[in-house]
A = this chain, B = another copy of it.
Amino acid sequence: MSTRPLFHPDLESVTIVGVLHALADPVRLAIVAELRRARDGLNCVETINRIHAATPKSTCSQHFQILREAGLIRSERKGVELSNSLRFDEIESRFPGLIDSILHARDRESANRR
């Protein structure tokens, strides 16, 4: 793993278009849903396992990078792994209700499919 510092935009430079783009992918949306549910940070592998996605490592790495640079998640190095968590309170203060209304919409869709 590289030791290059992880870039996290500050809240003011988080954009809706960036957020929507980051969420406009089934895997990334599932990652965010999972991180929303989780109490503590989750590493990438664990997150991907939980959402039952068979996505190649390099693609996952990219997905997390996109989420991070959109300002949706925060990733801290913990030894070999990253501890990823949703920047929920921050996003909530900038765009109240946004995340949950999107996640709620996703839940409704999968509920309908059954």
Contact = CB atoms under 8 A, between A and B. Distances in A.
Q: How many protomers of this protein does the assembly include?
A: 2
B17 A29 contact: yes
A106 B98 CA distance: 10
A79 interface: no
Interface string A1-21: 000000000001001110111
Given A20-B23, A29-B16, A98 B101 contact: yes
B25 A17 contact: yes
12 contacts: A15-B109, A16-B102, A16-B106, A17-B24, A17-B26, A19-B105, A20-B102, A94-B109, A95-B108, A96-B104, A98-B101, A101-B102
